[in-house]
Amino acid sequence: MSTTVTWREIDLGGSVAGGTSEKYKTGNWRVEKPVIDYEKCVRCLICWLYCPEPAIIRNGNEVKIDYDYCKGCGICAEECPRKAITMVPEEI
Amino acid sequence: MMTEALARQHRIALTGNDAVAYAVKQANVDVISAYPITPQTFVVETLSRYVNDGELNAKFINVESEHSALSAVIGASLAGARAFTATASQGLAYMWEALYAASGLRLPIVMALAARALSAPINIHNDHSDFFGMRDAGWIMFNGEEAQETYDLTIMAFKIAEDPRVLLPVVVSYDGFIVSHAITNFYALNDDVVKEFLGVRTTGPRIDPDNPRTFGVLALQDSYFEFKRQQYEAMENSRQVIKEVFQKYEEISGRSYAPLKEYMTSDAETCIVAMGSTVGTARHAVKTLREAGEKAGVVGILQYRPWPVKEAEQLFSRFKRIIVMEKVMSPGARAGPVYEDIAATIYPKHSEVKIIDFTYGLGGRDISTRGIIEIYKKGKELIDKGKTDRVYFHGVRGE
Ligand code: SF4
Ligand code: SF4
């Protein structure tokens, strides 16, 4: 949302055009970030299925965390059957 | 009534509730959702019969609560439907959260409210506690005195709500049992006349797969205020729109409406202010008072939100004394809501006008002509003694 839009031209009833959540980077909400140890990862895609955002990007069977949107909930680390994901405290 | 206007309507005898249902049927709504609650139940009962019998081509959504009823209507309205719900008392209280969603989303929903007291103690009879409880929810608020007004207001409500300058929900309230259950004669417009007057809904936000939008967004410190300010403006715009709709409606029906209803006010020194069915009784009381030489008058409130600021200032600044009768209690406040609106309108500019506030009729306690005359006499005397610094209670034992 641009901070220059006044009440006169703001969209009706608090509605906005689709696709705006892409512009809203939620990565800075994180306290801990998930880090994948690709040595342990067996490409089972469980983390990709479980990530509620979704902030795990899949390319074939490869998984990669999108830190722009990952909120650091830790679900992927909890669900990974290989314990390949570690939650690492964010630097302040 | 003029013959042309008469040709556009028919005489019909219905209860207040059925008058609302009749108007909603003629408005050709697309979606109705409601949960039964006394004394409103007959509105939706009759509407469900219309739908079942094929007299009204609408979707009737049965729900498990009023919260869901208004939520379903919100969804339907967002999908572009002309949508209606009805409730009373606890049902309205249960809708509270969704009331703000409906107005914030700028949905032209129409709701009927058969005004009833709020628990506890539980009571099914009329007062205006539920109505005033939604004062700040951003709805346009009307009050019908009897079946005719309630019917007319229900038809006009759709026109006002759907005007692109407004796009706000409208509530039409009428007194539970006194109006909702009493059968009276009134003039109803012919179906084709209503159809032409209202057309189909074409305005307002709507879900459109070809033009995807997000509704009900999260708007934080950077934008929430702007959305609300715009909503405030819609309510301001509605003043003019209501005027135009009243005018247009008069052209077709021959019945003229104004936000404030006046009776014997032109030379009145002391004015009684009331809302709902009491207004009629107050007219009768004033007639009696006039015969006894009192310069009395009545103002009935038809349009409560937006509060008719200009009309109210012009009118109320003319009187010496204003006696406000309120069927609602606002514990801890300086006075009831109507008193406060009047005071905020005329003070400090017209400080020579004195106002006094009476609470009466809570939980359906009857108010008679004699009761109103008592209020008038007591109010006048108290004002002249300068004792206006509290709320007085009429008809409660021990007062
Ligand atoms: S921490 Fe949560 S949000 Fe981030 S990638 Fe894992 S599951 Fe998704
Ligand atoms: S759940 Fe664990 S093992 Fe499976 S793909 Fe994700 S990181 Fe790799």
Domain that holds residue B326: 260-393
Give the pLDDT score at B62.
96
Q: Do both B98 and B171 map to the same domain?
A: yes
Give the pLDDT score at A20.
79
> Ligand nearest A66 Cα, by number?
1
B120: cis peptide before it, omega within 30°? yes
Q: Do both B67 and B160 map to the same domain?
A: yes
Distance CA B396, CA B235 (A): 37
pLDDT (tens digit, 9 = 90+) per residue, A24-54?
899 999 999 999 999 999 999 999 999 999 8
Q: Determine the residue of chain B that is closest to A9 in CA distance.
A: B230
Q: Do both B295 and B249 map to the same domain?
A: no
Distance CA B235, CA B173 (A): 18
Pocket test for ligand 2, best of A39, A45, A46, A65 (most atoms within 8 A of CB): A46
Q: Which contacts (CB < 8 Å, 24+ apart) does range B246-250 have?
A: B246/B156, B248/B159, B248/B197, B249/B152, B249/B155, B249/B156, B249/B159, B249/B197
Q: How confident is the model at residue A17 (pLDDT cuts 50, 70, 90)?
A: confident
Q: Do both B351 and B218 map to the same domain?
A: no
Q: Which residues of chain A have a CB within 8 Å of the CB of B223? A: 1, 5, 10
Q: Do both B215 and B334 map to the same domain?
A: no
In a domain, B264, yes or no: yes
Q: Supply B136's token pair.
A: 């700040």
User: Looking at residue B17, which CATH number applies to its domain?
Assistant: 3.40.50.970
Residue B361, class by beta-carbon neighbours within 10 Å (0-12 exposed, 13-18 middle, 19+ buried)?
Answer: buried
Please report how the helices B96-104 and B66-78 are oriented relative to each other, as an axis angle in degrees rounded to 10. Answer: 10
| Fold annotation for A26-89 | Alpha-Beta Plaits (3.30.70)
B254: left (phi over 0), alpha (psi -120 to 50) or beta: left
Give the pLDDT score at B161.
98
Q: Do both B62 and B180 map to the same domain?
A: yes
- Total domain count, chain B: 2
Q: What is the mean pLDDT of residues B258-286?
A: 98
Q: Which of A4, A5, A6, A7 is the best residue to mutate to test the B interface, defined by the most B CB atoms within 10 Å of its own CB?
A: A7
Q: Out of A10, A19, A21, whose CB is closest to B227?
A: A10
Cα–Cα nearest to B137, from B95, B190, B192, B178? B95
A50 Cα nearest atom in ligand 1: 7
Q: What is the mean pLDDT of residues B207-226?
A: 92
pLDDT (tens digit, 9 = 90+) per residue, B287-326?
999 999 999 999 999 999 999 999 999 999 999 999 999 9
- Tell me what the pLDDT averaged over chain B comes to: 97
User: Looking at residue B312, which CATH number applies to its domain?
Assistant: 3.40.50.920
Give the pLDDT score at A55.
96
pLDDT (tens digit, 9 = 90+) per residue, B325-370?
999 999 999 999 999 999 999 999 999 999 999 999 999 999 999 9
* pLDDT of A2 above 70: no
In a domain, B399, yes or no: no
Cα–Cα nearest to B374, from B272, B280, B293, B295? B272
Q: Do both B120 and B139 map to the same domain?
A: yes
**H or E element that contains B321:** strand B321-326
Centre of ligand 2 to C-alpha A84, Å, is 6
Q: Supply B173's token pair.
A: 């309230």
Q: Do both B99 and B198 map to the same domain?
A: yes
In a domain, B398, yes or no: no
Q: In the beta sheet, which residues pair with residue A64? A: A57
pLDDT (tens digit, 9 = 90+) per residue, B50-102?
999 999 999 999 999 999 999 999 999 999 999 999 999 999 999 999 999 99
Q: How confident is the model at residue B1 (pLDDT cuts 50, 70, 90)?
A: low
**Domain end: B253, B288, B313, which one?**
B253
Give the pLDDT score at A22.
85
How far is CA B169 from each of CA B63, B152, B235, rounded to the nearest angstrom? 20, 17, 10
* pLDDT of B121 above 70: yes
Q: Out of B105, B222, B233, whose CB is closest to A14?
A: B105
Give the pLDDT score at B383.
98
Task: Give, in degrees to the nearest 5, the angle at Cα A85 between A81 and A90.
Answer: 155
Centre of ligand 2 to C-alpha A74, Å, is 13
Contact A13 B212 (CB under 8 A): no
Cα–Cα nearest to B190, from B383, B378, B376, B10? B10
Query: Half-sphere exposure (CA, 13 Å, Cβ side) for A6?
Result: 2
Q: What percent of chain B shows pLDDT beyond 70?
A: 100
Q: Do both B293 and B159 map to the same domain?
A: no
Q: Which residues of chain A have a CB within 8 Å of the CB of B214? A: 15-18, 20-21
Q: What is the mean pLDDT of residues B8-27?
A: 98
Q: Do both B93 and B214 map to the same domain?
A: yes
What is the pTM for the complete model shown? 0.91
Q: What is the mean pLDDT of residues A60-69?
A: 96
| Cβ(A87) – ligand 1 distance below 6 Å | no
Cα–Cα nearest to B362, from B115, B90, B166, B169? B115
Give the pLDDT score at B351.
95
Give the pLDDT score at B48.
97
Q: What is the mean pLDDT of residues B161-190?
A: 98
Nearest CA to ligand 1 atom 2: A73
In a domain, B204, yes or no: yes
**Domain end: B196, B226, B253, which one?**
B253
Q: Do both B276 and B177 map to the same domain?
A: no
Q: Do both B242 and B313 map to the same domain?
A: no
Q: What percent of chain B shows pLDDT beyond 90?
A: 97
| Cβ(A51) – ligand 1 distance below 6 Å | yes
**Domain end: B232, B253, B274, which one?**
B253
